[in-house]
Amino acid sequence: MTGEGSNSPKVCLGFDIHYPCYLNPGFRPDTVKRTRDAKDRYFSPNIKEDLGDVIDRSFRPATEILLDLLDGGFACALSISGTVVEHLEEWYPEMLDLLSHAATHLNVELLAQTYHHSVAGQFADLTEFEAELLMHRDLMKELFSVAPTAFAHTDYPITPATVKVLKDAGIRAAIIEGSEGPALERDPNYTYTYRDLPVIVTHCDLADDIAVRFPWRGWDKWPLMADRYAEWLSVSPGDCVTLFLDYRVFGDAIGAETGILEFLRALPSALTGEGIESVHPSVAATFPAHGEIGERAEPKNLQMTILQQSAHQALEEARDLVADRNIWRSLLDTDHIRRMAMRSASCGKPLHAVSHQAAHDHFASFMRVLSDFEERSAASARSRKAVLSLRCVPPEKAFYFSSHERPAGYAAHSLQELLNMLEFAPDDVIRYHVEREDFTRWIDLVIGDENLAKKVSGVADRAELRSAIRKRIERLWNRLK
């Protein structure tokens, strides 16, 4: 049996190459009025310079090392987002040329992903997920003459709906995170199937030995050398150890002074010394299936916080409210949602841990941008009034639920979110706000829907209140069709 002393497992190593459109944390609505291009105000003015630093610290040295390793026979996979390609084409074409040498190397397999590294795969309507998948495929064909057939599905749970889209797009295998259910946490080093799609599972602990624990001097395994790491892989039970790592780990998230780039350079030789063969994801996907992944609840480390849920819902609703689809797609980046949690899962990504205030500040910046974007889009919509009534609002204008002056801990940033929360809010909370006419005032003065405000005024029954809001929302959406 492989991985248990007789034969070493194979290793499947992939790198996620991406650079987001970071938000402008100082954005305020009045700043947009001074520029013709709102995108210049919504996103950080330092993106070009910051990306240049990342290239110098990480992308360039890591790619130069990788090219040498590939020439030596090492096999790996690259997942390159459309966003980072756009950045490099515009500002750093020489880096794109260098990356192209790696992407077109015979020992590299290019992976499919969403063009904008987006959360669209979590939407109820997967139209955008499919569109970005095809956009990315077309980009890979145009730049590198390859149509990827394996998909990196690591930022959210795989579902029957996403699998159908993947299959229809010609995807024949997917990489998923090892947290996709209790059984997979015990046995990540195998190929499985999900709705007849072969899936290979990342080994989060081994990936985080590199992405998280490598620079930590307090770690009892520090310093981690390539030969020691290869030895760990050699005794890891299973057929193939799959590692999917954020490329920025090498020199940026973990500085070069730690020896991380030397570790990368030494790893293939160390693997060979342990008899470990490197293989592509499409090869690992052909190994005999260890079982079928059943329908499971969402993994705990992928469950969203209340801030993330609010932003996610607002993003999905915004699709048919905004005028510029490119700006909206830049807001779909998984990095924006990830930064709204105090601590988010790593699994090959740098550990994200911030204060509650920092997470809330990022959420507030995000919602200010999205709200302003929707409001500015209203002028070109079929019904300006409908867009303004359906838009989200920033935290300072949200409806905060409470009871007798005690905060309930949740807030509504749109009519739809208000409707959703009225389903589970305690009776005493609803009664408190009805008696004070809080719902009426917020809908009238903040949302600006005088018609709906009049209809809910004095309505104390939960079902009647929700019915009035739901019908109004349906009518507003109908006006935009």
Q: Which tokens is 200 given?
A: 């290979």
For 22, the domain range is 10-301
Phi, psi of 163 (to 5 degrees): -60, -40
Same domain, 116 and 251: yes
Task: Mean pLDDT check: name the lowest of 128-132, 265-269, 303-307, 324-328.
Answer: 303-307
Residue 30 vs residue 305, higher pLDDT: 305
Residue 4: its pLDDT value, please?
42
- Kindly state the percentage of the chain with pLDDT values over 90: 83
Query: Within a domain: residue 374?
Result: no
Query: Within a domain: residue 307?
Result: no
Which pLDDT tens digit goes with each residue over 140-164?
Answer: 999 999 999 999 988 888 999 999 9
Residue 28: its pLDDT value, please?
85
Q: CA angle 424-294-167, nearest 5°?
A: 100
Same domain, 205 and 84: yes
Same domain, 154 and 289: yes
Last residue of a domain, one of 247, 268, 301: 301
Same domain, 437 and 288: no
Cα distances from 346 to residues 205, 309, 311, in angstroms, run: 9, 19, 21
Query: Within a domain: residue 318?
Result: no
Last residue of a domain, one of 301, 330, 346: 301
Residue 287: its pLDDT value, please?
96
Count of structural domains, the chain: 2
Residue 40: its pLDDT value, please?
83
Query: Within a domain: residue 185?
Result: yes
Residue 181: its pLDDT value, please?
40
Residue 270: its pLDDT value, please?
98
Q: How buried is residue 106: exposed, middle or buried, by Cβ count under 10 Å (0-12/13-18/19+)?
A: exposed
Query: Within a domain: residue 412?
Result: yes
Query: Within a domain: residue 232?
Result: yes
Residue 427 vs residue 155, higher pLDDT: 427
Query: Within a domain: residue 354?
Result: no
> Which H or E element spans position 16?
strand 10-17
Last residue of a domain, one of 243, 277, 301: 301
Same domain, 273 and 422: no
Annotate 155-171 with b (16+ C-beta within 10 A) or e (fewer). bbbbbeebbebbeebeb
Query: Within a domain: residue 345?
Result: no
Q: Residue 64: how many CB atoms within 10 A of its CB?
A: 14
pLDDT at 297 over 50: no
Which pLDDT tens digit goes with each residue over 312-322?
Answer: 999 999 999 99
CATH of the domain at 292: 3.20.110.20
